[in-house]
Amino acid sequence: MIISVASGKGGTGKTTVAVSFALAARYCQFIDYDVEAPNADIFLKPDIKNIKKVSIKQPYFLTDTGNDFSKCAEFCHYNAIAVIGSEVIFYPELCHGCGGCLLVGPEGAVREKDVVVGEVAKGFTTPGIDFLKGNLIPGSMRTTTLQNELEKMLNKSGLVIIDAPPGNSCSMVMSVKNSDYCILVTEPTPYGFNDLLISMEVLEGLKVPYGVIINRDGVGDSAIEDYCTERNIRVHLKIPNDIEIAKIYSQGGTLLDYDSSYGEKFGIILKVIERISIGEADNHN
């Protein structure tokens, strides 16, 4: 079973919740899909055993051959290649590494080299958490290349917890699309609510069932809870607003360090989700 933890707004507590699930489950695969800002390792403290570089292929042009590369520039859908006279200007930050210029350019005059865009790290947290994360190199825009790499390593035979990046665009969708269930973490502010509604729309489009966890409960109003009640959306948990949680988090501590009963609470939510996904329980309040 794959459970993803997502949220439109950033900083609502995705990692806190995802880590709590992993610690409650004790045996699972944990994947940090937030490759632009991966932080789950700060809390799960895995023993990293293996780091693999991830690269894409990018072209270079043998211009001293007198060849004409204008077809490459014409073909490139990302405007990464410009040809002025006999000169080729290449913009590596725009290149997706599709290999199109290689196909259309003069034979043998377009070559490719590997360009590292990030790495995938594998590790282990006792008692039984297989940890995986992607880490994008600052300056690279190949977020989805790393996420594709992580997807290949999904172990669908057991429980998988996915920590998604913030937002509602392609990198979030990449993280939640394979899930059996998604937990949307939000906070009771107008920003949290607005972004939650968009995330719900994304999940409904993908047909991924979801429930909500409200973090920092008490800081704002009850608009989110009222909305969930009205639409019969399950609110699995409310985590109180407490500066102690913020302080523990700031040092790399978890919700279970704040209050060990959260282990049990998240264990129960896991069971509820399991029952929902096999059709034994309804996914509403």
Partner 1 sequence: MVKQITIISGKGGTGKTTIASSFIKMAHDHIAVDADVDAANLHILLNLTTIKKEDLIGGAVAVVNQTCINCGKCEELCRFDAISGSTSDIKIDTLKCEGCGVCQYICPAGAIELKKDKQGEFYTSDTQFCKLIHARLNPAAENSGLLVTMVRSIAEDIAYAENKKLIIIDGAPGIGCPVIASLNGVDFALIVTEPTLSGISDFKKIYKVAGFFNIKTFVCINKHDINDKNTEAIEKFCASNNIQVIGKIAYDENVPKVLAAKNYIIDYTDSPAAKDIIQLYFRLEKFLYE
Binding site for partner 1 (CB under 8 A): 8-12, 15, 34, 36-37, 39, 42, 56-57, 75, 77-78, 93, 96-100, 103-104, 136, 138-141, 143-144, 148, 165-174, 177, 187-191, 194-195, 198-199, 201-202, 205-206, 216, 219-221, 241, 243, 246-247, 249-252
Between 47 and 64, name the residue whose CB sits nearer to partner 1: 47
Between 99 and 128, name the residue whose CB sits nearer to partner 1: 99
Closest CB 197 distance from partner 1, rounded Å: 10
CA dist 217 and 121 (Å) reads 34
Between 72 and 159, name the residue whose CB sits nearer to partner 1: 72
Closest CB 240 distance from partner 1, rounded Å: 12
Between 216 and 236, name the residue whose CB sits nearer to partner 1: 216
Which residue, 77, 233, 55, 265, is CA-closest to 149?
A: 55
Between 161 and 224, name the residue whose CB sits nearer to partner 1: 224
Annotate 223-280 with DSSP letters as a single string: HHHHHHHHHT--EEEEEEP-HHHHHHHHTT--HHHH-THHHHHHHHHHHHHHHHHTTS
Closest CB 195 distance from partner 1, rounded Å: 4
| Antiparallel, parallel or unpaired: β 181-186 and 210-217 | parallel
Q: What are 95's two structure tokens?
A: 């290149």
Q: What are 51's two structure tokens?
A: 């780091």
Q: Which own/partner contact pairs does 202-208 have at CB distance under 8 Å and 24+ positions apart?
A: 202/168, 202/172, 202/173, 202/176, 203/176, 206/173, 206/176, 206/177, 208/4, 208/176, 208/177, 208/179, 208/180, 208/181, 208/182
Contact 4, 137 (CB under 8 A): no
Closest CB 239 distance from partner 1, rounded Å: 14
DSSP conformation class of 168:
S
Closest CB 107 distance from partner 1, rounded Å: 15
Closest CB 43 distance from partner 1, rounded Å: 8
Between 89 and 268, name the residue whose CB sits nearer to partner 1: 89
H/E run at residue 205: helix 190-206
Closest CB 268 distance from partner 1, rounded Å: 27
Between 165 and 211, name the residue whose CB sits nearer to partner 1: 165
